Structures are given as C-alpha cells and as structure tokens.
A and B are shown apart, each in its own frame.
Chain A
Amino acid sequence: MRAPIVAALLGLSLAACESGPRANLFVVLPNPDGTSGAISVDDGRKVVVLDRPYAASQLRSGVAESVDVSEQDVQAAFGPAIAARPILPARFRLYFMLNTDQLTTESEVLYLSVFEDIRRRTVYQVDVVGHTDTVGTRSYNQQLSSQRATTIRDRLVKDGLQPGSITVSGRGEADLALATADEIYEPRNRRVEITVR
C-alpha cells in the first residue's frame, strides 16, 4: 500500500499508477491554441467520440468507459512517448517580385529564419513548392513556378543543405493562396512554400 502514498507525494494520480493490468487508454490532447480535434473510438459494439482536450476513454475487459484524466495522468502514462516527439513540421511562404525568381525584401529576411528552423533539427527533410499568380499562360506559369522552386532549392544547397534532403516541385497557377480570376496580379500568389520537417 506504499505505492499510492509515493504516488501522492510525487503528484501523480492513482489512475496512472494503477496496480494490476493496465487498461487500453485513449486521450485527446489540446492544440497549442487550446482547441482540439476529435477521435472516434469503435470497440465493435459502440462508437465513442472524444472531442475536447483531455477527453479520454479506457477499455477494461473489452468495455469502453469514459474517464477523467489530468495533465499529470497523461505525463505519468505517456511521458516517454511525449518526450520522444520530434520537433513539429514548420511552413514558410516566400514571396517573389512580379515575373521574376527574386524574393521580396521581407522574404529575404524570412529565408534566414528558414535556416534557423532547420538548425534546430537533428535531421531534416525539406519540400520546396513553387507557385505563381494567374497572369500569363498556364504553361508559362508552370515553368515560372518550377523555376522559382529550383532557385530556392539551389540557394538552400549553396547555403549548406543536403540536396538529397530536398524535394522540388512547381504547381503553376493551380494552387492559389488567394483565389482570383485569370490574369490577375496578386503578390500573395507569387510564392514558394517551404515545409521543413
């Protein structure tokens, strides 16, 4: 009976330090903004939807029951898995001057922060995807978007990234950040999106 006392002293809940077999446990965590998505738990007889932070379901002998969990319970039951979580992927949008593969002044600064982000990671993969606005033909824009992406890729490699860790593609005017009619100048669509993970 000493285990519960030790648990209390350590600030852990009994649920996390249960003796006997450990039940299957499913917990929804909050997003950084405090909201959450949802998971549905189907045990073959019924479906339980967990759709708020720290909503949890425990399965004992095949029977799902709702349980309350605290942050401490979560740390006690899942600490190592949470500690092993990789740095989450980050996305950057670099903008280009009209009809060029040259970055705007603001995006030159952002380019440096892409590097800062990569430096935090032990290993990395980078996707570089080019886009244009709707001025010009589709085929011209396809080529321009590829050129923008390739320019950024080459620069990343020149600045020290491994070529094998970078993928490059161009989406032309097929994937507008801001929907417009054809032949519309839109600086926010002239961009390269970089995902670092």
Chain B
Amino acid sequence: MKCLTILGLRRLAAAAALSVGIAASLAVTAPPAAAQGATIGQVKTVSGQSFIVRGGARLPATAGDLVVEKDVIETGGDGSIGITFVDNTVFSTGPNSQVALEEFRFDSSEFQGAMVASVSRGTLSVVSGDIARTSPGAMRVRTPTTVLGVRGTRFLVRVGDDR
C-alpha cells in the first residue's frame, strides 16, 4: 500500500502545481511578506500542510513568502514547498519533511558565499546555484548521519527512518 500512497501524493502534488500554474498572472502576485533579517529566498510553490518555522513560531507557508537564514521548512503528510534562493539555488521538499536553513551568505558582486542546510527527515530536491559554483565545499547539506558536499549539480536527498 505504501506504493499506492506515494502515487496518490504525486497526483495531488501535480494537481496543486497545475492549479498554481493556471492562477499565475502578473495581476495576482501578492506583495512579499515581511521577514526580519536579510532575505535569502522566496517561497514559490506550496501544497498541503506546509510551514516555515521562525524563532519558535510555526507560520503556514504561502507562495511569495520571503525566507531568512535559520528558518526551518516543515511539511505534513500531504505537504510540499518549493523555494528559490537569491543565489538561484532551488530547493523543494516532499511530504513529512523538515529542512533547516542553517547558514546562508551570498555576495552577488564578489560572487562568494556559503550555504548549509540540514535535512532531518523527508525528501529534498536541490538544483544548485551560484554559491555551489564559488568554491568546492561552499555548499553543504547535512543529514543526521552524513554531510554532502555539492559541486554544481542537481540531486535528491531522502532521510528515512533507518539511518
């Protein structure tokens, strides 16, 4: 039954993505939500139960929300969130996921930066951006038992229950 559940979720996510696509027009774009600290990215896609945890507050995520360093992305059983960062790194999580944006620095004129994200559970899709290009080791993704170093690529991370 696990397989069927996975398929069901995929359909839901696809349907949500489609409805977002239909709604897309310049006119409906909401102004960015306020966030303290430097903006490091923006929520682009949301479906199901999806949250940004910031300083102890658990905020329902909405497309257009700005994210800052130390934010934690969380999704429930039917949730997903997609975020594009200011260095053009792209993250998206599946359901039952938790990803902490531990560290993010990027100087767009000097083209230098560092990024550390921590996946404690669930799934994460990554398309690396300018930070991963600046130097080897500039971008790292941690899991409870491993550290991933990223050299300009697309990749996927799943943190399961057998670690």
Residues in chain A within 8 A of chain B (CB atoms)? 3, 6-7, 10, 12, 16-17, 19-31, 36-44, 50, 59-62, 64, 74-89, 118-125, 127, 160-162, 164-165, 169, 171, 174-175, 195, 197
Contact = CB atoms under 8 A, between A and B. Distances in A.
Contact of B29 (A25, A87, A162, A174): A162
Interface in B7-23: 7, 9-10, 12-14, 17, 20-21, 23
Given A19-B2, A75-B10, A160-B26, A39 B148 contact: yes
B98 interface: no
Interface string B140-163: 000101111111111111111111
Q: Which 4 A-B pairs have the closest CB atoms?
A: A37-B153, A22-B160, A86-B44, A21-B162
B156 A59 contact: no
B81 to A, nearest CB: 6
Given A61-B162, A78-B125, A79-B6, A37 B45 contact: no
Contacts of B60: none
A21 B155 contact: no
Contacts of A122: 20-21, 23-24, 28-29, 44-45, 63-64
A138 B9 CA distance: 56
Given A41-B148, A60-B162, A79-B10, 18 more contacts: A28-B153, A28-B155, A39-B149, A44-B145, A77-B123, A77-B158, A78-B94, A78-B156, A81-B80, A81-B92, A81-B93, A86-B84, A86-B92, A119-B25, A121-B24, A122-B63, A123-B30, A127-B108
A162 B45 CA distance: 19
Nearest to B48: A80
B82 interface: yes
A82 B147 CA distance: 22
Contacts of A39: 148-151, 153, 155
B37 interface: no
A31 B158 contact: no
B120 to A, nearest CB: 11
B116 interface: no
B24 A40 contact: no
B3 interface: yes
A77 B125 CA distance: 11
Contacts of A64: 146
Given A37-B151, A39-B153, A76-B6, A24 B145 contact: yes
Contacts of A24: 143, 145-146, 157-160, 162-163
Nearest to A6: B3
B161 A85 contact: no
Contact of B154 (A21, A36, A59, A118): A36
28 contacts: A3-B1, A6-B4, A20-B162, A26-B155, A26-B158, A28-B155, A30-B154, A39-B150, A39-B155, A44-B145, A50-B155, A76-B3, A78-B156, A80-B94, A80-B95, A80-B123, A82-B156, A83-B80, A84-B47, A84-B80, A86-B45, A86-B84, A119-B24, A122-B21, A123-B29, A123-B44, A125-B42, A169-B108
